[in-house]
Structure 1
Amino acid sequence: MDNSGFNPSISQSTNYFQFEADFVGSLHCIPMQVRMKLDNCGVKLKLVHWNQFTSSERQALVNMPCETELETKTYKEFLQNLVTEKTGQPAKELTIDPHPPWLDATTIPNEVIVKAQESHISLSLEQWRNLTPAQRFALIKLSRPSHENKNFLPALQEFGIIS
């Protein structure tokens, strides 16, 4: 990120990562920025829920802010109302981590280290520190065993960790 606040690996107009390019046009998968908001507001949104939303509802979830306490409350209410409207019941709620690992620039989560090592890549603490919280979030999510990990290496490339 340069001094203007522009992050070259996230488009300013859409905030999608380049490695998400294969699905962001149709939004048939939940983009990382929405997944980060879900963790922030403590809602377990399933892909089956997401796919019941209209494209404008999905875009609203992409565009809505979810950082301050009020924004997070508003986002959660909007999302739960959508899920309830589509399915008849709200989505499962999760405990919100008061200190999520993507906000900690001083510690690389073990699952990220292991995933990088599987590809013979060494991620330094300096490289981790230089990532934005959204980039760290993406690497954490992409390194989880339960996630399809085909985008881990493209993300590392996009973030300038490997060439």
Structure 2
Amino acid sequence: MGLHETPLLFDFELVSSEDLTYMPMSVRFNLDRFGLRISLAQWQLLPHADRTLLARFPVDEDAQIEPNFDHALFEMMRTHANIEPEWFTPEPDPVWRSTAAVPERLLAHSRAVGAIAPSTERWAELDPFKRYVLTKLTRKPEPSHDFVPAMREFGLMG
């Protein structure tokens, strides 16, 4: 699968990420799957055209499909910031990949915002990237401002 024609953004990201000042979920996904970490300040050092290109990479789980994300990021960071991304070992079995149960943090965040959590069946039906996004939005103890909009966009709330 090749690059998307435009940056991959969810509706709930448009306000914060449309101009790519902030990292869209598609970039975060690819950073996590390749085991790379950059700060927001480092992201913002990249020219808009480079950020746009990184946001066009596919979000498929198979890291072999588009292995150029990490190479592109390294070149961009070296060229424009004279630094390299930090490496980490990706989680071998992240909770978002499992369709057997809704992650506890997602259940807790749903309760915190007064929403009905998705059923296990509904969770299993979600596209893996959407499961990733919801677990990413629930990684901190307090609900993200994007959590409820994402739940709505993914058809999990009215």
TM category (shorter chain) comes to 0.7 to 0.9
Unpaired stretches in structure 1, ≥5 consecutive residues: 1-10
Contact map agreement 2:46 2:81 (CA 8 A) in 1: no
The reply on whether 1:39 has 2:32 as its aligned counterpart is yes
Q: Which runs of 4+ in 1 moved over 3 A?
A: 11-14, 65-68
Secondary structure class of the residue paired with 2:45: coil
The reply on whether 1:134 has 2:129 as its aligned counterpart is yes
> Which range moved further: 88-97 or 147-156?
147-156
Deviation per CA, 1:110-136: give whole Å up to 9, x if none: 211111111222321112112111111
Aligned-partner Cα distance in 1 for 2:19–2:154? 24
Unpaired stretches in structure 2, ≥5 consecutive residues: none
* Cα 1:53/1:129, change in 2 over 3 Å: same
Over aligned residues, Cα RMSD in angstroms? 2.2
Aligned-partner Cα distance in 2 for 1:46–1:146? 20
* Cα 1:70/1:158, change in 2 over 3 Å: closer
Structure having greater relative contact order (Cα 8 Å, sep ≥ 6): 2
Q: Which of the residues 145, 148, 155 maps onto 2:150?
A: 155
AA in 2 matched with 1:115: H
- TM-score of the pair, normalised by structure 1: 0.83
- TM-score of the pair, normalised by structure 2: 0.85
Aligned-partner Cα distance in 2 for 1:31–1:156? 16
AA in 1 matched with 2:122: Q
Give the fraction of aligned pairs with identical amino acids, expressed as a percent. 26
Q: 1:87 — aligned with what?
A: 81
Secondary structure class of the residue paired with 1:99: coil
Deviation per CA, 1:70-119: give whole Å up to 9, x if none: 623x2112212222223322111111123222222222222111111112
Aligned-partner Cα distance in 2 for 1:50–1:147? 24
Number of residue pairs the alignment of both structures matches: 152
Aligned-partner Cα distance in 1 for 2:56–2:149? 24
Q: 1:111 — aligned with what?
A: 105
Secondary structure class of the residue paired with 2:12: helix
Equivalence map 1:16-27=2 (5 Å): 16-27=9-20
